[in-house]
Amino acid sequence: EKGGYKHFMAKEIAEQPVVLADALRHYLPKSGLNMPDELDFSNIDRIILIACGTAHYACAVAKYWFEEFARIPCEIDVASEFRYREPPLSARSLAIFVSQSGETADTLAALRYCAENVAKTVAVVNVPSSSIAREADIALPILAGIEVGVASTKAFTAQLLVLAVMALKAGRDRGQIDDEILSAHTEALRSLPGLLNQAMSLSEPIAKLAESLAEAQDILFLGRGPMYPLALEGALKLKEISYIHAEGYASGELKHGPIALIDRSVPVIVMAPHDRLFDKTVSNMQEVMARHGMVLLASDAKGLQIAGDGTWAQIQLPEIAEPFAPILYAVPAQLLAYHTAVAKGTDVDQPRNLAKSVTVE
Ligand code: F6R
């Protein structure tokens, strides 16, 4: 059942190249985007993305995609806030609910609040027979297979893939994306299984770094653009299973407070592919190094060459099209959490106080 792995989480991390290849075969067959016809973005003027936990961070990444590819205003919220805030809704909004289990109580309540009051409700779920899948107007399965580890891994990257294809469809429906860019993006998505496979080879070197990380009291994760929500996800994963206090920040927020935390004992994990905003992230990173923070830079060859000097450690990822970097960098984020927890000897698959499916508030 664990297929030779020590933990379900390790198995589920390693399954991601295959999971994404399956989801790609379904949603991006050779003939193009495969999304239901009734999922039509042409008359939508707003997208609302609602979820909890890791699924919420998948929504937070997708916001960048919907805004960039389709130029639709896009709002994200955690389900527990959204449902009790009872925000005004509009008939031309499309509401998307993301949930691995499809049973999360707050997400289900948020869906019920939106039903009848928005143009369409869409569920992005792993369990097709779940309440959220049944109650939404349209259900899109992420096709990740059963996820046993309490910390979500393969469901996260599969959610991202489905949301990425949706955002491309939204861009096409609205005439915001030309054929050339669309095909470049679909090619980039098709390259993900191979790239994630390469990223799996980082498991051993990351296990070595994790021995030092396991000693830390606090760990910060930094990211910019679509990598910002991935920094939040990296911190969540780490705290869930290693019980080390971790926080994610937008790199540009560092000087607005969290930099006060930096000293020699605080590892700062910078998730930064060599993208448009790389230089800005590097200057944030240098501010950390000037205060003797232990910087772990995860980047591509180019990024490491430009900015690797003076860092405590480096993780090299293959190059990837800028918008989709969070899908690839999810793997080292998960491996960092996993190996740190293993080094600490915590219960990786059944972390204390957590349940796989949160069906009560
Ligand atoms: C984190 C984690 C949780 C879930 C959250 C939502 O690793 O697993 O944060 O993501 O409880 O669960 P679903 O996706 O089932 O609605």
Alpha-helix runs per DSSP H in 118-249: 131-135, 154-173, 179-190, 192-200, 203-213, 227-242
- Ligand 1 near 52 CB (within 6 A): yes
Residue 132 CA: nearest ligand 1 atom is 16
What is d(CA 16, CA 143) in angstroms, rounded to the nearest whole number?
A: 11
Ligand 1: residue of 78, 101, 132 to mutate (most ligand atoms within 8 A of CB) is 101
Give the residue, by CA position, lying nearest to ligand 1 atom 11.
53
Q: How is residue 350 written in tokens?
A: 């059944």
pLDDT digits (tens, 9 = 90+) for 279-324: 999 999 999 999 999 999 999 999 999 998 999 999 999 999 999 9
Q: What is the mean pLDDT of the chain?
A: 96
Burial of residue 21, with CB atoms counted within 10 A of its CB: 0-12 exposed, 13-18 middle, 19 or more buried: middle
pLDDT tens-place string over residues 262-286: 999 999 999 999 999 999 999 999 9
Residue 33 in this model has a pLDDT that exceeds 90: yes
- Cα radius of gyration rounded to whole Å, the chain: 20
- Which has the closest alpha carbon to 108: 89, 127, 90? 127
**pTM score > 0.90 for this model?**
yes
Ramachandran sector of residue 225 (left: φ over 0; alpha: ψ -120 to 50; beta: rest): left
State how far the Cα of 29 lies from the Cα of 318, in Å rounded to an integer. Answer: 24
| Residue 353, pLDDT above cutoff 90 | no
Determine the 3-state secondary structure of 184 from DSSP.
helix
Please give the pLDDT value at position 361: 79
Taking the C-alpha atoms of residue 82 and residue 23, their distance in angstroms, rounded to an integer, is 29
Q: Is 101 in the pocket of ligand 1 (CB under 6 A)?
A: yes
CA of 285 to the centre of ligand 1 (A): 30
- Interface TM-score (ipTM) > 0.85: yes
Q: If pLDDT is split at 50, 70 and 90, which confidence band does 147 have?
A: very high
Of 317, 342, 345, nearest in space to 9 by CA: 342
Q: Over the stretch 181-220, which tens digit does the pLDDT of each residue have? A: 999 999 999 999 999 999 999 999 999 999 999 999 999 9
**pLDDT computed for residue 349 by the predictor:** 86
Q: Is 154 a catalytic residue?
A: no
In angstroms, rounded to a whole number, what is the distance separating the alpha carbons of residues 95 and 138?
11
Band of pLDDT at residue 166, cut at 50, 70 and 90:
very high
**CA-nearest residue, atom 5 of ligand 1:** 53
Per-residue pLDDT, 308:
85
Say yes or no: CB of residue 131 within 6 Å of ligand 1: no
Residue 357 has pLDDT above 90, yes or no: no
- Res 324: pLDDT: 98
Q: Which of 239, 280, 344, 356 is catalytic?
A: 356
